């Protein structure tokens, strides 16, 4: 009998494919809690709010009416039309239903990268970035090329993007509001990036999954800018903006021909999204109560952001500004203890789970990511625990002190 081992995997495809660090951290958290540890989590990338009641009610009704069979593969016609209207009114996108594929946002990212990237192609993305882009780029045979954002405000400088372009660059990934920093790309920078994409003939993957969680700035879609509709695939969804992570529903929009091709991949991989899930999503777009629910959620998140940021600013060793969107902060740390060792220390000494910055970008050893999609009580307790665990911790010498002693 032949033994099936890991060597059976296709090495060119799976060599670089490691499990998601954020999912692994969450599994670890659950195991600690199951063992009776009182761990406060700042690790989870999902709002703690229940899904909007109109969505739950519509899905329940749809199930009761027997919508449990295969649904139209590209999405219910009513939902595709409602998305066109929603994206026209909120994002300035002019789309026909054949430019909309109803699919989980994560699959939209996967399909886009797989379709556009081949062996040796380079993909530009910001350092730091969401953890799933790199493995997917590598799976497709491409090379991720990080463009470091300016630490103050995590601005992705268009001049830095242009400087990173080579003859092999094919795709630029944008993510605004941003995971893990909460930064948002300004309209002025989007216009400059759009100009670069057109001059250098790049595709753009615009990941807008946090689009409705914006506090101080207005969210803009790059596909709405002149000349960008034909070279942009936009991915977004209900998960984060509407507290519907477990529903696994979102959308991908772009040029009709590309959407049809990516839709073929979706058909062969996923077939369709469940009809009752799509009915719930449609209710979110159509019921004003869901829109109000969403606004209230953002108002609460803003209070939590302010609580967490002001608390971190009071603890020596953390530097942090209030981000404009999403529900993450990415403070810079100046402890001698760095990266994964710092995250481990906070877990062991304070029972506080955070994500090490190094998971998100190669130069982010001196950052941690905290999600504030948890209650104010958890935030206040967590801040106390962090402060206590870091009392007296050694700080890195500042550059001037380093020179003085060397
Ligand atoms: C930046 C970013 N894009 C895409 C996704 C995937 O979203 P979904 O869970 O709706 O597929 C996530 C989820 O964490 C994310 O943070």
* Overall average pLDDT of the 78-98 stretch: 98
pLDDT the model gives residue 406: 36
* Overall average pLDDT of the 304-313 stretch: 98
- Sheet of strand 355-356, all strands in order from the earlier edge strand to the far edge: 328-329, 368-371, 355-356
The whole-angstrom distance between residue 386's C-alpha and the CA centroid of its chain comes to 25
Which residue among 105, 131, 246 has the greatest number of ligand 1 atoms within 8 angstroms of its CB, and so is best to mutate?
Answer: 105
Distance 4 CA to ligand 1 centre (A): 33
Average confidence score pLDDT of the chain: 94
Distance 216 CA to ligand 1 centre (A): 22
Look at residue 275 and give its three-state secondary structure: helix
Q: Ligand 1, residue 178: give the atom nearest the CA.
A: 1
CA distance between the termini of the chain: 64
pLDDT the model gives residue 28: 84
Alpha helices in 314-356 (DSSP H): 339-350
Which residue among 174, 184, 209, 371 has the greatest number of ligand 1 atoms within 8 angstroms of its CB, and so is best to mutate?
Answer: 209
Q: What is the Cα–Cα distance from 239 to 109, expressed in whole angstroms? A: 14
Q: Give pTM, 2 decimals.
A: 0.95
Pocket of ligand 1 (CB under 6 A): 45, 104-106, 109, 130, 175, 179, 207, 209, 237, 239, 245, 250
Q: Over 90: is that where the pLDDT of 315 sits?
A: yes
* Overall average pLDDT of the 243-269 stretch: 98
Span 6-30, pLDDT tens digits: 567 787 777 778 888 778 788 888 8
Neighbouring C-alpha atoms within 13 Å toward the C-beta of 215: 20
Distance 359 CA to ligand 1 centre (A): 15
With contact defined as beta carbons under 8 Å apart, do 200 and 172 qualify?
no
Distance 104 CA to ligand 1 centre (A): 9
Q: What is the Cα–Cα distance from 351 to 33, expressed in whole angstroms? A: 10
With contact defined as beta carbons under 8 Å apart, do 103 and 281 qualify?
no
Q: Which helix (H) or strand (E) holds 42?
A: none
Q: Over 90: is that where the pLDDT of 400 sits?
A: no
Which residue's C-alpha comes closest to atom 14 of ligand 1?
Answer: 45
pLDDT the model gives residue 401: 53
* Overall average pLDDT of the 225-252 stretch: 98
Q: May I ask the CATH architecture of the domain 69-286? A: 3-Layer(aba) Sandwich (3.40)
Domain boundaries along the sequence of the chain: 6-50+291-390, 69-286
Q: Over 90: is that where the pLDDT of 44 sits?
A: no
Q: Is 404 left (phi over 0), alpha (psi -120 to 50) or beta?
A: alpha
Burial class of residue 48 (count of CB atoms within 10 Å of its CB; 0-12, 13-18, 19+) = middle
Q: Ligand 1, residue 207: give the atom nearest the CA.
A: 3
Q: With CA atoms as reference, report the closest residue to 130 among 176, 169, 161.
A: 176
Task: Reply yes or no on domain 6-50+291-390 having CATH 3.90.1150.10.
Answer: yes
* Overall average pLDDT of the 54-68 stretch: 98
Q: Over 90: is that where the pLDDT of 370 sits?
A: yes
Span 336-360, pLDDT tens digits: 999 999 999 999 999 999 999 999 9
Distance 1 CA to ligand 1 centre (A): 42
Look at residue 391 and give its three-state secondary structure: coil
């Amino acid at each position: 009998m032949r033994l099936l081992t890991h060597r059976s995997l296709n090495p060119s495809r799976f060599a670089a494919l490691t499990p998601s660090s954020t999912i692994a951290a969450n599994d670890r958290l659950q195991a600690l809690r199951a063992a009776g540890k009182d761990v406060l989590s700042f690790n989870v990338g999902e709002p703690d709010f229940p899904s909007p009641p109109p969505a739950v009610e519509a899905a329940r009704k749809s199930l009761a009416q027997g919508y449990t069979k295969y649904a139209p593969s590209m999405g219910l016609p009513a939902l595709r039309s409602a998305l066109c209207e929603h994206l026209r009114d909120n994002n300035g996108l002019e789309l026909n239903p054949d430019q909309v594929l109803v699919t989980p946002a994560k699959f939209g990212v996967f399909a886009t990268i797989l379709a556009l990237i081949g062996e040796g192609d380079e993909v530009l993305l910001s350092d730091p970035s969401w953890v799933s882009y790199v493995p997917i780029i590598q799976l497709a045979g491409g090379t991720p090329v990080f463009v470091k954002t300016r630490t103050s405000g995590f601005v992705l400088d268009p001049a830095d993007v242009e400087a990173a372009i080579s003859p092999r660059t094919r795709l630029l990934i944008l993510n605004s509001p941003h995971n893990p920093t909460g930064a948002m790309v300004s309209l002025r920078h989007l216009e400059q990036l759009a100009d670069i994409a057109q001059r250098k003939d790049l595709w753009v993957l615009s990941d807008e999954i946090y689009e409705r969680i914006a506090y101080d700035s207005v969210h803009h879609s790059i596909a709405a800018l002149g000349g960008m509709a034909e070279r942009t695939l936009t991915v977004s969804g209900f998960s984060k903006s509407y507290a519907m992570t477990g529903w696994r529903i979102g959308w991908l929009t772009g040029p009709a021909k590309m959407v049809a091709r990516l839709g073929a991949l979706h058909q062969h991989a996923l077939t369709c999204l469940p009809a009752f899930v799509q009915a719930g999503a449609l209710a979110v777009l159509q019921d004003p109560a869901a829109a109000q629910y969403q606004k209230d959620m953002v108002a609460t998140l803003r209070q939590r952001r302010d609580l967490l940021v002001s608390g971190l600013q009071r603890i020596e060793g953390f530097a942090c500004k209030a981000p404009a969107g999403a529900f993450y902060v990415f403070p810079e740390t100046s402890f001698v203890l760095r990266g994964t060792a710092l995250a481990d220390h906070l877990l062991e000494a304070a029972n506080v789970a955070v994500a090490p910055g190094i998971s998100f970008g190669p130069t982010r050893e001196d950052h941690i990511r905290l999600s504030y999609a948890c209650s104010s009580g958890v935030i206040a307790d967590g801040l106390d625990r962090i402060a206590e665990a870091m009392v007296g911790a050694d700080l890195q010498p500042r550059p001037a002190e380093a020179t003085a002693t060397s």
